[in-house]
Structure 1
Amino acid sequence: MKNIIHLLIFALAFSSCKNEEKIPVIVKEIIPVPEFRYGYNIDDFVLIQDTIKSGESFGEILDRHHVNFPKINKIAGEIKETFDVRRVRAGKPYTILASKDSIQKAQVFIYKNNKIRATVVDFSDSIIKAHTYLQPIKTVQKIIEGKIYSSLSNSMDSLHLSPNLTNTIADIYAWTLDFYKLQKGDSFKIIFEEKYIKNNLFAGYGEVKAAVFNHRGEDFYAYRYLADSIKGITEYYDTDGNMLRSQFLKSPIKFQYRISSRYNLKRRIAHYGYRVKAHRGTDFAASNGTPIMSTANGTVVESRRRGGNGNYVAVKHNSTFTTKYFHMSRRKSKVGDFVKQGDVIGYVGSTGSSSGNHVCYRFWKNGKEVDPFKEKLPAAKPLNKTLKPHYLEFVKPLKYQLDHNQLSVPEQPVIENVVQN
């Protein structure tokens, strides 16, 4: 039965005349708008919301809501290309739309992958269907400014920004800045997107449009730009159009580290009785279990434990360069794996001849160990010269926003970021 709200509106009219005129009562009928969720009219079902318990399976949940096991097996088999029911995880919320009769048998199962995405499984009739549902998203652009007092992560925390955004900024500047060398008083500004569902429920971050990091009085700008619309790959470039990404990262650890020992051919080591023993690597100290990244694309050619090196992985990048990562607590990559720049290949430890948790990063050039911080290493592919004029126009409003710490800019032609076919 439809709920009908009768709104009675009484209007009284007064007149200076002796004979008052009566105003009829107006009765207006208002029918409430149906509520839709995930494409279904909720009024047509019994709504059941719960969270998957530890050890609970898809089959157990449907069985509890009056779906028999032959039907459950049929559902699992027919939707396996879209949704593997074996991969439902404890702690994930789900919704069941059940029939409105006395049995309240499940008709639709909705698994919430995250705040934005859900998998909808409809088995209300003989045709079983499964699809991905995306919540309508509102994207808001913001600009923030911060100062370094101790570290980037602490500064971002003080601005109530999540580690996800901190990691994105660390990735953008991984080739440009040594986060170990940041100084008190360094500052940054970031133009970024926040995503919301239902207007006010935060659902994560979108793109970082632009940023500037002031380090030791020098500004390091970064602008997100789509230089190849066919591949759809975006990169970050500086004010002059130089790509920030180089062929090698500055560090095999993201930013939570300190350099405890540098490349030094005359170093005296306590572990060997303070005898002179050349140190042909750079030691990055970090807590046990910190992820270690490959500093460039390449193929794993060694993954083993051996003597003083402890657990280590070696990556051959091309005929010129090879890198090795010593003293891991454990290795993640095996021989033959192709790894991309930034992929985790192992974890910080203290295996082999080591007096504390760190990774010893060693660098070979043409078969000879060298100090990568003193080598002129190849840069990534530069911006196409034909795109340079367009790029310089594209970044003008972004630079204005960063320099003036505001999102509004003077009126100017719109520059679209899709140019190369």
Structure 2
Amino acid sequence: MKLRFMKSTPGQIMMGVALTSFIVLGIRNSNSSQMSLLPGLAKTETISTLPIPTPEYKYNNINMAFYDAEEGLIKQGAVLSEIFSSLGIGISTLHKLLEAGQDVFEVRSLRAGKKYKLLTEKTSQEPAYFIYEQDAINYYIFDLKDMSGIEKGQNPVDTVHRAFAGLIQSSLWNAFSDYEIESRQIPVLTSKMEDAMAWSVDFHHVQPGDQFKLIYDEYFVEGESVGIGEMKAAYFQTSGKDYYAFKYNNGTYDGYFSADGRPMKKAFLKAPVKFSRISSRYNLNRFHPILKRTKAHLGTDYAAPYNTEILATADGVIERIGRTRGNGNFIKIKHDKTYSTQYLHMNKFASNMKKGVHVKQGEVIGYVGSTGLATGPHVCYRFWKNGKQVDPLRQNLPEPEPMDPAMMPEFNLAKEALQKQLEAIDVEVPAQT
């Protein structure tokens, strides 16, 4: 279910342009009453005139009515010199533009699949502008007429504030699909929910009947959705417990906070992989599927497709990195004097990973695989406390410090406004297909 709260338009609003119509007056002689022409005034006839093109301003006020547009897509491996050559524009022109616009446009930012346009003057058929559309909002204008350089611009963007509520029947991802959210928006919304609440809610253990709500921005250009913006607030109810996350930025604090003003970001992420499922838990008496005997499983397995990103669950330093027969490719991170974590069966390591490297919470350290003694793609996540391997899902980790009490009144005002909006959203059962 989607609700529109309000619509704001920070983009440019084009002003109407008045067109002047010229009327040619036909003067004729009349049989009944002769008309005397004023001295020097010649007899004229009514003639038809060509209509003046209706202005259509785009790309930093270029009047598109005066240009023909040729569109194309950047092909894999293409470079600007090849594109300009195919359009009949000399390489010297490109070099001059790149030199003049070197502080604006980075040649290596060209991406396959992106759109470009060549604007040609309708009267002279001379190339006037080359436009590279970096995305639906941002673009670069290469001035082929004056050779003055490269200009960066943005399309006017409408921001629509959205509210959504859902009932989980299997997973958070599937819940968005159950309510017919656009497929391209599902991974973005799911990721934003996890980014805000992953330290408090274990999205790998959601249950049928769990509820969630969120308030977020959606961006539109010329009436078409071009992306999801910031998530303002989120709510999740599971096992009878309510969780809230409110986005707040006052210059001193910036992030998601709980209803009592504590940062949602905690020392450790709940899991090292997004969009995965637990395939095997910490178990001291597990029957090993390959060794065919009982062997303690001192980790938690998260099943995910090959090459899914594996994330460091907390800040730390890589203590060990390598490969063994059982572990396959693995990394062990020391977080402080108390805690360490280990990640097994990687397909490969992320670039620049080596012993002694500092990593940040959420940083990609490797990719899911099945190296070592593994029956399928997963990451075995191991957790050490004071040198002993423990079940990470049963640890009571320290809570972050709350917000400065002096700043709580301002936070509470912002929080209460968002909380009222969340409470106003009804949770409906998704239609059965």
Equivalent position of 1:244 in the other structure:
264
Task: Report the CA distance between 1:313 and its aligned residue.
Answer: 1.7
Query: Which deviates more, 64-73 or 341-350?
Result: 64-73
Matches within 5 A, 1:19-34: 33-34=54-55
Tell me, yes or no, if the aligned pair for 1:258 and 1:286 is still in contact at 8 Å: no
Equivalent position of 2:40 in the other structure:
none
Query: What does the per-residue CA deviation read over 1:294-320, in whole Å, with 9 as the maximum and x for residues that have no partner?
Result: 111223333322221101122232343
Do residues 97 (structure 1) and 119 (structure 2) align? yes
Equivalent position of 2:236 in the other structure:
213
For the aligned residue pairs, the C-alpha RMSD in angstroms reads 2.7
Do residues 394 (structure 1) and 414 (structure 2) align? yes
CA shift in 2, pair 1:68/1:189, >3 Å? same
CA shift in 2, pair 1:250/1:80, >3 Å? same
Measured in 2, the distance between the counterparts of 1:379 and 1:100 equals 66
Out of 123, 126, 131, the position equivalent to 1:110 is 131
Equivalent position of 1:360 in the other structure:
380
Query: Which deviates more, 345-354 or 30-39?
Result: 30-39
Do residues 322 (structure 1) and 340 (structure 2) align? yes
Matches within 5 A, 1:18-417: 33-39=54-60, 40-100=62-122, 102=124, 104-127=125-148, 129-159=149-179, 160-161=181-182, 162=185, 163-198=187-222, 200-227=223-250, 229=251, 234-262=254-282, 264-275=283-294, 277-333=295-351, 334-335=353-354, 336-405=356-425
Kindly provide the amino acid, as one letter, of the partner of residue 201 in structure 1: E
Tell me, yes or no, if the aligned pair for 2:284 and 2:296 is still in contact at 8 Å: yes
CA shift in 2, pair 1:356/1:54, >3 Å? closer
CA shift in 2, pair 1:126/1:153, >3 Å? closer
SS in 2 for 1:71: helix
Tell me, yes or no, if the aligned pair for 2:262 and 2:400 is still in contact at 8 Å: no
Task: Report the CA distance between 1:126 and its aligned residue.
Answer: 4.5
Measured in 2, the distance between the counterparts of 1:300 and 1:177 equals 27
Task: Report the CA distance between 1:31 and its aligned residue.
Answer: 5.9
CA shift in 2, pair 1:177/1:56, >3 Å? same
Tell me, yes or no, if the aligned pair for 2:161 and 2:217 is still in contact at 8 Å: yes
CA shift in 2, pair 1:284/1:64, >3 Å? closer
Kindly provide the amino acid, as one letter, of the partner of residue 138 in structure 2: R
Task: Report the CA distance between 1:146 and its aligned residue.
Answer: 0.8
Task: Report the CA distance between 1:95 and its aligned residue.
Answer: 1.3
Kindly provide the amino acid, as one letter, of the partner of residue 118 in structure 1: Y
TM-score, with normalisation over the residues of structure 2? Answer: 0.79
Task: Report the CA distance between 1:351 and its aligned residue.
Answer: 0.7
Tell me, yes or no, if the aligned pair for 2:93 and 2:147 is still in contact at 8 Å: no
Task: Report the CA distance between 1:378 and its aligned residue.
Answer: 2.7
SS in 1 for 2:290: helix
Kindly provide the amino acid, as one letter, of the partner of residue 74 in structure 2: I
Tell me, yes or no, if the aligned pair for 1:348 and 1:358 is still in contact at 8 Å: yes
SS in 1 for 2:409: helix
Query: What does the per-residue CA deviation read over 1:376-419, in whole Å, with 9 as the maximum and x for residues that have no partner?
Result: 2233343122112222222112211111228xxxxxxxxxxxxx
Equivalent position of 1:12 in the other structure:
none
Tell me, yes or no, if the aligned pair for 1:97 and 1:109 is still in contact at 8 Å: yes
Measured in 2, the distance between the counterparts of 1:332 and 1:174 equals 22
Tell me, yes or no, if the aligned pair for 2:318 and 2:331 is still in contact at 8 Å: yes
Kindly provide the amino acid, as one letter, of the partner of residue 82 in structure 2: E
Task: Report the CA distance between 1:288 and its aligned residue.
Answer: 2.3
Measured in 1, the distance between the counterparts of 2:393 and 2:239 equals 19
Task: Report the CA distance between 1:143 and its aligned residue.
Answer: 1.1
Task: Report the CA distance between 1:338 and its aligned residue.
Answer: 3.3
TM-score, with normalisation over the residues of structure 1? Answer: 0.82
Measured in 2, the distance between the counterparts of 1:287 and 1:49 equals 37
Kindly provide the amino acid, as one letter, of the partner of residue 361 in structure 2: Q
Measured in 2, the distance between the counterparts of 1:266 and 1:53 equals 55
Measured in 1, the distance between the counterparts of 2:213 and 2:394 equals 30
Task: Report the CA distance between 1:35 and its aligned residue.
Answer: 1.7
**Number of equivalent positions:** 377
Query: What does the per-residue CA deviation read over 1:144-170, in whole Å, with 9 as the maximum and x for residues that have no partner?
Result: 111101111011122214121121112
Query: What does the per-residue CA deviation read over 1:154-209, in whole Å, with 9 as the maximum and x for residues that have no partner?
Result: 111222141211211122121111112211111111111111112x1111111211
Identity of aligned residues (%): 38
Q: Could you tell me which runs of 5 or more consecutive residues in structure 2 were left unpaired when the two chains were aligned.
A: 1-17, 24-49, 427-433
Measured in 2, the distance between the counterparts of 1:310 and 1:352 equals 4
Larger RCO (CA within 8 A; separation ≥ 6): 2
SS in 1 for 2:382: strand
Kindly provide the amino acid, as one letter, of the partner of residue 315 in structure 1: I
CA shift in 2, pair 1:204/1:338, >3 Å? same
Task: Report the CA distance between 1:349 and its aligned residue.
Answer: 1.4
Measured in 2, the distance between the counterparts of 1:79 and 1:395 equals 44
Measured in 1, the distance between the counterparts of 2:128 and 2:357 equals 45
